[in-house]
Structures are given as structure tokens and as C-alpha cells.
Amino acid sequence: MPHDYIGAVLVIRAALFFPHAADPAVRNEIAQCFEAYSAVAGDRLTWLWQDGKREMALKNGKLDPKVFTVGKPNEGLGVYVTSGEKAIDASFWEFRVSGLTARQEQHPDYGTNALTFSMPVLHVAEHPAVFQQLFVECARRLKVSSGYAGYAANLSYAQPEPNTPTEYWLSTRFSGLDVGDPIQNALHLRDKLKTVSWLTAINQQMLEKVGGIAALRNELPRDWFAFYDLDGGVAIQAGPRPESGASVEEKGAPVLPANYVIANHALKDVRVDSLWQLQIGLGGTQAALYKSPAAGDRWLRRYDVPSDQLLAYKAAVLDLPVLTPESVLADRL
């Protein structure tokens, strides 16, 4: 149905999953992550949403960091900052964090905490290494269990369900597009990775499960992949820029980026088995969505290719753009 607001926008988005959001020290690190993000976003940020409160307009993009730190351990955290002209608009610049209470975090069934931030595709292209720097900095601050960053569709924060079909449609055109709300997906990502993307982060426990840095170096050649230390874990950069996986033909099927395919193969042992319901739309809608567990699981496995095709994807990586000093961080491993 037509509406008078922006329902979805294409962005580059990071999703980070981390423990202990109720801890005051971690709350302070969340605030520091926002400060680093807002230094890039500037006065583009226009609206503040908080769980249980009405939206509030921001002046010159400024936000009191206390919104991240004043909560008590028995209170959850829900702060969402957007950049639309209207509060209801989907926005290119967006910072969201959702944290469990201390009691909830004691129970694995509640999942884990999540933080996301996004930037316009063009901004990431025109400012090499800025997004990567923020991703790695926040991953280190939060001591993430896992994370990833690449193409995504930001939906209207106030009206996500009516716009979920747009995200689905985009995913049929772009294999590199993240699908599903990371904050909702966090329920299943306490100790697993959702997907690989342009940037992918895993903690030390997951790194050990895939054989350590040496094993990853054997699979992911240095000219096309960069590694960054995360307190014993690792962040992996696949190529100088995000890959959309867009079809080379106007109405053709999306392609599988070769570098994502081989990264997926290297990290498959720590990938989550299922997210139960990848997307949530309006009740009773007939629109195509990833509604069933089976449909969502097929999306999770989209980069799984038969073993007899894997060598061809490894060869295809050699034709991709190589990393340059301008497109990586100085502290790569």
C-alpha cells in the first residue's frame, strides 16, 4: 500500500553481537562507540527513539551519552538513533543498540546483545577505511562474540513489518544483502555467527573452532583478505569494498561473490544452524518473505556451494580487486 514516508533504504550496515550489556563498563563502551560514529555522522542524526518513550528530535545531531549509561543492571537497554526527515522514515545514518538485563543474560535462551550502525553506500565508497576503522574499534570495545558488515536494507524503525517485503525483494537481487533485523536475530547468536560479509568478526573461541589464524590464512589469501586482531579473535575484511552480489543481467539471478563464498567455507563450522524466523512481516500478509525456518535456513546457506565448485570460486577470487594500503587499516595482522 502507498504511504507518505520512506520505508526502506539501501546502506552499508554493521551488526555486532556482544556480552554483558548491563555492565556499567560495557555501557560506557557503547557510549564511546556512539561518539565515534557520531563524529562521522555529524548533524545528519535527527531522531532519538528509546524503549518505552516517544521519539525525540535531536538538535544538530547531538545526543547526551547518558542515554546509554544511566540504566541499572535490572533494566534493559534500547536506544535507536535515526536520520530521516520524519521520525518514521527509514534512514541512511542509523545507530541502534539493544541490551539484555543482567538477569536475562544469565539464561542462554535470551540470546545476546546487539549493536548496529550504518552509512550510505556512496559515503563508504568515497571514504576508504573509515567504516572498517569504526567496525574494528567497536568490535574491540565491546569484546564481540561475532559480527559482520556489508550491504543491508534499513527499514522504517516505526513501521518495519509493512516494509519487510522490500527487504525480501532486494535480497532476490543482491546475494550480499543482509536479511532480517540483527536485534531480533540476536536471540540465536549468543555463540554463533550469522553470516559472512565484507567484514566478519569472530571471537577467540570461534577462531579456535575453525583452526586459528594459520588455517584462515591458508584459505583466505593476503592480497584479497585482511585480518585484524580482536583480543584473540579476528575481524576479516574481504576485499577493498563491499560486494552486493547483484546480477550482471537486468533480470538475472544474483551472483555469489567469490570472496564471500570462500570465507563462508572457512567459517562454516561456527555459523548458526537456524534463526527460526528470519523475517517478521504483517500478520496475514500474502507478500513473499522468509517466514518459515526452512526459507530462512536456505538464505543462511546461500554461499554453500558443492565441493566440486569450490576450486572455481577460489580461482575467481584472483580476478577480484586486490586490497591497497588505502583500503585497509594500518594494524592489519
* 37 vs 238: CA distance, rounded Å: 22
What is the pLDDT at residue 283? Answer: 64
What is the pLDDT at residue 38? Answer: 97
* 302 vs 195: CA distance, rounded Å: 10
Q: What is the pTM of this model?
A: 0.96
What is the pLDDT at residue 134? Answer: 99
| Amino acid identity for residue 89 in this structure | D
Q: Which residue intervals of the chain are DSSP H helices?
A: 24-41, 66-69, 102-105, 121-126, 130-142, 164-171, 182-185, 204-209, 212-219, 258-267, 293-300, 307-317
Which of 61, 129, 67 lies closest to 94 in space, CA to CA?
61
Provide φ and ψ at 201, rounded to 5°.
Answer: -125, 140
What is the pLDDT at residue 2? Answer: 57
Three-class DSSP category at 199: strand
What is the pLDDT at residue 94? Answer: 98
What is the pLDDT at residue 281? Answer: 73
What is the pLDDT at residue 147? Answer: 99
Model confidence over 252-270: pLDDT tens digits? 789 999 999 999 999 999 9
What is the pLDDT at residue 23? Answer: 96
- Low-confidence residues of the chain, pLDDT below 50? none
* 270 vs 209: CA distance, rounded Å: 7
* 241 vs 293: CA distance, rounded Å: 31
Model confidence over 5-37: pLDDT tens digits? 999 999 999 999 999 999 999 999 999 999 999
What's the DSSP call for residue 15? E
What is the pLDDT at residue 139? Answer: 99
